[in-house]
Amino acid sequence: MLFSTTAFLFSFLPRALAAAWLTSFGPYWLFLLTLTGASAYFYYAHIPLYLGLLVLSAAVSFGIATLVEKGRRRWLYLAGIAFNLVPLGYFKYWDFIARNVDRILGLPFTPANIALPLAISFITFEQIAFLSDVHAGRIERGSPLRYAAFISFFPKLIAGPIIRYTEMLPQFRAGKRPSLDLIITGLCIFSIGLFKKVAFADQLAPSADRIFGLASGQLVSGTDAALAISAYAAQIYFDFSGYSDMAIGLACMLGLTLPINFFSPYKATSIIEFWRRWHITLSRFLRDYLYIPLGGNRGGVSKTYVNLLLVMTLGGLWHGAGFAFVIWGALHGIALVLNHAWNSVRPAALAQSRLMSLVGWAATTITVLLGWIFFRAVDLGTSRNMIESLFTPWTMSTLEPRAIHLLGFCWLIILACPNTAQMFRFSFLLKGSESNYLQQIPAARLGLVALGGTLLFFSVVIIVSGTPNAFIYFQF
């Protein structure tokens, strides 16, 4: 059930909000039970059978955490991590592994076509972080109901963010509930995200899809290749940015706070800064639960660079079961290594140079755009054709003028406009504060409400008149 469908907007969401509002006046356990029930129904609506998998996974993880908390047993903690990784390996990587093993052995391959359970990658990471934090004594396991509400929370099930239990349990203990002010504010934030998705991301998709589709079997003009790459870069920007806004807005309507997961990454002046702005919660998970346990920067320069490259390569594989994703992750890993190496020898005077910032932004943008070729292409052959096409003659584009104008307008918004967090002044969320959203909104509160209402109206018109596209990160 996508957020940009009439079924969600006019059926599920009003009922979920009404139930949450009514039960918020009673005991807090009833509100959490309602929230968990709504989230379970949301998960059930995707593939009913997989709801049992979610329940089993959460129950076993919570049970292991209980035993680990009592005795700090390391072998149980490791068994819990393995338990969570096995389903992810089967559902997400079985076909990929079997295909390549059969290719090596010269055997025929028949894909199993296994349907991916909703949010399995995000839930797996969240449960690994939960077990790690309980094992390290950073958080208590809490009650089964609180854990169920945390792991099943529907606003983050489509494409994250990857939430830590340490961020949600304090809110549950504080008795966070929905209020009229939070519902209005959350609806405004949600509306901005919805508009980004249906008015920009979904409208850019046909241009990128058509050119990448052609490149799967032939070269295209350099102009079309460049436009398709920039169209996909803008598409995934608004798709992920829009979803991140919607997730925060939905949580706000329910009285809860989610961490910021997206903060104008195309304005970054280095690849290090890019990953502090793009999928922020994934970056911090990889840092805290993979990079640091591997040794981080404690083993010298060479060890640090090896760890960076390994973590980013695995991060690429996490995004998808294919060699193109591995190359994408490795490319970003190499870029991070070069960025850190440059920072270690860069003269201090250049750190504040506007010219170097501009050069850094250009180098970062080019690296990111080249990386998106592998991320978007269906196979390595398409990636190769797209790269080769950049060096073919730059003739008149085959895209419609309207599509090119939309692309230019979208890039203007990306580079020149403030993001939603800046508009609503909730950058305090980066620090984990639980302040009331409305206390952070400027005097132009009514103007933001009017903007949200207007964008919601136009978004609904677009949705009713067409077929919504799935979120790009939905497949991960």
| The total number of structural domains that make up the chain | 1
Residue 271 structural domain: 191-416
pLDDT in tens, 75-89: 899 999 999 999 999
The pLDDT of residue 323 is 92
| Residue 440 located in a structural domain | no
Quick check: is 60 in a domain?
Answer: no
Q: Which two tokens stand for residue 78?
A: 């490791």
- 134 assigned to some structural domain: no
Q: Would you state the pLDDT for residue 437?
A: 43
Query: For residue range 398-407, what is the model confidence (pLDDT) as tens digits?
Result: 999 999 999 9
pLDDT at 447: 67
- Average pLDDT for residues 435-451, to the nearest whole number? 54
Does 340 participate in catalysis according to the annotation?
Answer: no
Is 117's pLDDT higher than 70? yes
- In tens, the pLDDT along 370-383 reads 999 999 997 899 99
Alpha helices in 157-279 (DSSP H): 165-173, 180-195, 202-215, 222-253, 271-277
Q: Annotated catalytic residue: which of 46, 135, 279, 319?
A: 319
On whether residue 296 sits in a domain, the answer given is yes
Residue 21 has pLDDT above 90, yes or no: yes
Among 8, 473, 10, 6, which residue's Cα sits nearest to residue 242?
Answer: 473
Residue of 395, 386, 403, 282 lying closest to 332 (CA atoms): 282
pLDDT, tens digit (0-9, with 9 covering 90-100), for 94-104: 888 888 888 88
pLDDT of residue 436: 44
Q: Is residue 363 part of a domain?
A: yes
Q: Is residue 150 part of a domain?
A: no
> Which one, of 274, 273, 249, lies nearest residue 260 by Cα?
249
Share of the chain above pLDDT 70, in %: 94
Give domain status of residue 472, yes or no: no
Q: Nearest CA to 121 among 85, 169, 165, 83?
A: 85
Is residue 385, in this structure, part of any structural domain at all?
A: yes
Residue 15 pLDDT: 96
Q: Who's near 72: CB < 8 A, 6+ residues apart?
A: 135, 137
pLDDT computed for residue 444 by the predictor: 45
- Per-residue pLDDT, averaged over 440-448, amounts to 53
